[in-house]
A and B are shown apart, each in its own frame.
Chain A
Amino acid sequence: MKRQSAKFVVNGKPSEIMLASHMTLLEVLRDQMGLTGTKYGCGTGSCGACTVLVEGKPVLSCLTLAVTVQDKNILTIEGLAEGNTLHPIQKAFVDHGAIQCGFCTPGMILSTKALLDENPNPTRQEVKEALAGNLCRCTGYVKIIDAVLAAAKEIAKGRQIT
């Protein structure tokens, strides 16, 4: 199979990958780059476990051909915390019982980041709408929504201080 070199900026770091044209972004992240925080849940773009941010927007990596996001900024779950310091969204998920099995969590957290970047003070209904593409079979969503609202408050507090 013909492969060609392609450049990506993943979690702020430029990297070069040998790419076949049929490869999905999910395959590149998981198999080539070892970033297994991005999950395969369905392969048809219906569960959201493979969500990553491309230029800040949520994208289903299982449906995205890797060649289409060359040279773009890609954020995976591995790039969100700063060292050992969790991002406020991650911290809120931990503190509010929003994580059970955790398989949906990376995608859920990245969808939340995209939401809060655009709408820092969402209503409960807006949170529900923003996360409707991320399936969770464990929690019933109650504590996830609580966590997102708590994270929004926390981030707003941080903003006031700075």
Chain B
Amino acid sequence: MIQEFSVVGKRLPRIGAAERATGAAQYVADMKLPGMLIGRVLLSPHPHAKILKVDKSKAEKLPGVEAVIAMEDVPRKAYTRYPYDMMAPAGVTVMEVKEHHEFYEDERIFNDKVRFVGEPVAAVAAINESIAEMALELIEVEYEILPAVFDPEEAMKAEAPIIHDSVSHNIRAHLPVTFSAGDVNKGFQEADHIVEESFRTYKQKHCQLEPSVCVAHFDLSGRLTIWSPSQTPHVLKKKIAYIFGLPEGMVRWLTPIYIGGAFGGRQSLTNEPICVALAAKAAGKPVKLIYTREEDFVTTESRQPICYTFKLGVKSDGTITAIQVKTFTDAGAYYSHSGATTGMSLQQCLWVYRCDNVAGEANIVYTNTPVSGGMRGYGNPQAMFALEQIIDMAAEKIGMDPLEFRLRNARGTGEPTAVYPPTPIENSALHECIELAAQRIGWSEKRTSRKDGSKRQGVGMASVQHWTGAAPTLVEHSSAFIKLNGGGSANLCVSSCDLGQNILGTLAQIAAEELGLQADDINIVTGDTDVTMFDSGTYGSRSLYGAGNAVLGAARQAKKQLLERASEELNAAPEELEVRNRRVYVRTTPERSMPIADVVTNATFNSVGQCLDITGVYTWSTLNQSANFNATFAEVEVDTETGEVKVIKVVIAHDIGRAINPAIVEGQLEGGAVQGIGYTLTENFVVDMDTGICLSNNFETYRIPTSLDSPEIEVILVERPVPSGPFGAKGVGEAGGVGMAAAIANAIYNAVGVRIKELPITPEKILKALKAK
């Protein structure tokens, strides 16, 4: 039966679009409160140094300075900026979480030694920015400079300086064989061919256009309010309470509905702890702390560089007999997401394709460089850059079309998902995606077209499995509350954060569909942890699925009440009623109907004494998930004289389950794809290997794609609704960029026969490889 929808599936403009187009949208960066002070942070110029003394006296005397803080002024509690240590991973009870999160805690607001250039050492709050700036220059810090190490392989050597006292060889964690299965030695013996290769990735910066920003204020009762554009307000609220020793109820976290991008960069704490510490010192005055672009580059997190050594065994018929992967991850100075990201990455390497014998291990290594963290894709783009090239190499070895090789080996419906611990794949439309995208890019013709002349063209692909939420690694938890209003509108209270992806608008579409309303009948109430129920956060392509299910559940409850109330008025049983077009109808005799607005008004305003607010509340939580899939194809032109790579066309066919708002889904995939192109070709977070100074701390030295780098992108939405998703929907937020680096690298190989194994793929690397060929 084809379901017909009135709101779901519509290409509605994102909510708040006009506000954003007219400058009316207020971001935290735009906030101004009466009496508000401006904070600035003093950053370490040294990559590794003990702090012997911080002399604040001169800065404190400067007129207009209201607070100066260093180590002695802030809580000494160890914590991690990483948010998910506060949440129970699968199978762990709340009582066990404490031990779990102590494992991660390796930093303090101001540490007694700095571990990277750019680590905050002290901070000031003053009546304006220029005074704050001057005050910073008056703070005198005495350092004892220590030897530093910037390269993760160097850091693992015996003679390397130790960055955290208790961690020998700077190996913070060794992820063991949890993800392994079978016997790889046996598997390699059974193989006809063995392919071995190493791949390196680098740190990618989120570069959300609104820099990290926070406003914090303690009221007279000691209650703390934080305004910060976060992805995980409820979790970070807990974390701030934990760091500052406050009861959770004394912290209120406000996340505005206008957030200037995130891409994973706002999952962790950024400058909130410093801002809160300044506000604590500033005696009742609100403090605003906004990072400059340069500060944002060095002090906040970036995508982990993960390096892979792959060994894959394959039979001539295309059966994969063994996969072995050894990786190391440059965590930077603090552990944060690096273990979690690497685990997700490793799991993808080992489990996406059918293979009985898999083994993986990973070292997570500290270096004296800026902290690594989660970024859109969370380890999967790194994994795919390696895996999807190895797959092409294996296919070539046995003389099989790499597309065929993937169709043959990719795990599908009912087989294990590549997220630990594996649950069955609910539905995979990957085969369909691959075939559709191949057709649109002209795979067979272009793959085998003549490769000559100085500018050569080629096509490459990657197939992508990506998670929808982090379950069962983390428990999924989202809640929603709906209240119907007289007049026929509804208030939807959710905690999802609109990072640009219009999650609030899309959730409104879900609520409207279920309640028989239009999307603009739904008012969104959000961004206040005092009001919204717990939500684990907006990350991991989870919100439409997780919060979407919560919204659907709440809407169903509200609808139930609505129909019960209407049944008295329409003189029909509730189960005989349905809602659409803002009215309640008797299903079999639709001429009997009444406006939803009247039902709600009669319920809430009546003089017979049966007043009822029509509401629905629902919490959705699961240990399952529904992976999403896509096929990412790239067509490139390589200039063999200059080494330049131009992406001519990208085709992504994505298994979305159902597109609640197709225009939004396309936007997610297009945006992800171009971020992926930047990751592959132009971006590079460069740390000077002598000084530890970040050399790419602005948009001139760190080049994100411009409009000129944006190729023709064709997005194909493959809609195969899944039972577990709201109206059948699965996630899409991260997947657009996940396969891009591999697809481009494979296309380059197709064009000019060189394989680039280290990101970014620069003209120098291409020329060098062409020369060596």
A residues near B, CB below 8 A? 1, 30, 34-44, 46-47, 49, 76-78, 80-81, 86, 90-91, 93-95, 97, 99-106, 109, 127-129, 131-145
Contacts and interface: CB of A to CB of B under 8 A. Distances in A.
A102 B25 contact: yes
A99 B674 contact: no
Contacts of B705: 140-141
Given A77-B23, A100-B500, A142 B713 contact: yes
Contact of A39 (B17, B209, B502, B672): B209
Contacts of B708: 128-129, 132
A41 B29 CA distance: 10
Interface string B251-280: 000000011111100000000000000000
Shortest beta-carbon contacts, A-B, top 3: A37-B23, A102-B20, A101-B500
Given A46-B699, A78-B23, A101 B499 contact: yes
Contact of B706 (A36, A100, A132): A132
8 contacts: A35-B23, A41-B293, A101-B261, A103-B261, A128-B708, A137-B263, A139-B667, A141-B706
Nearest to B706: A132
Contacts, number: 178
Interface of B: 11, 13-14, 16-27, 29-30, 32, 130, 206-211, 258-263, 292-293, 499-502, 663-664, 666-667, 670-675, 698-700, 704-708, 710, 713, 736
Contacts of B26: 36
Nearest to B502: A100
Contacts of A40: 29, 211
Nearest to B20: A102
Contacts of B670: 139-140, 142-143
Contact of A143 (B18, B208, B501, B667): B667
B11 to A, nearest CB: 8
A37 B27 CA distance: 10
| B interface: dominant SS | loop
A114 to B, nearest CB: 15
B265 to A, nearest CB: 10
A145 B698 contact: no
Nearest to B259: A101
A21 to B, nearest CB: 13
Nearest to B666: A97
Contacts of A76: 23
A99 B664 CA distance: 10
A77 B208 contact: no
A89 to B, nearest CB: 8
Contacts of A103: 27, 208-210, 260-261
A50 to B, nearest CB: 11
A30 B707 CA distance: 27
Contact of A109 (B14, B21, B672, B710): B21
A97 B662 CA distance: 10
B118 to A, nearest CB: 17
B675 A137 contact: yes
A81 B667 contact: no
A11 B25 CA distance: 18
Given A46-B700, A100-B502, A140 B21 contact: no
Contacts of B501: 100
A132 B707 contact: yes
B18 A94 contact: yes
Given A49-B209, A142-B710, A105 B667 contact: no
A109 to B, nearest CB: 6
Given A94-B18, A97-B663, A142-B670, A44 B293 contact: yes
Contacts of B209: 39, 41, 47, 49, 101, 103-104, 135-137
Contact of B21 (A93, A101, A133): A93
Contact of B707 (A91, A137, A145): A145
B613 to A, nearest CB: 32
Given A100-B500, A127-B707, A140-B671, 19 more contacts: A30-B30, A37-B22, A37-B23, A38-B23, A40-B29, A44-B700, A47-B699, A80-B22, A86-B18, A100-B14, A101-B208, A102-B260, A103-B210, A129-B708, A131-B707, A135-B209, A135-B704, A140-B670, A142-B670
Interface centre among A1, A35, A127, A140 (most CB of B within 10 A): A140
Residue of A134, A136, A138, A143 contacting most chain B CB atoms (<10 Å): A138
Contacts of A41: 209-211, 293, 699
A33 to B, nearest CB: 12
Contacts of A91: 21
Contacts of B698: 42, 44, 46
A77 B25 CA distance: 11
Nearest to B16: A102
Contact of A90 (B18, B663, B706): B18
A86 B21 CA distance: 8
Contacts of A131: 706-707
A127 to B, nearest CB: 7
B23 A36 contact: yes
A94 B17 contact: yes
A133 B262 CA distance: 21
Contacts of A95: 13
A90 B21 contact: yes
Which of B21, B30, B499, B502 counts the most A-chain CB atoms under 10 A from its CB?
B21
Contact of B22 (A81, A135, A142, A145): A81
B667 to A, nearest CB: 5
B111 to A, nearest CB: 28
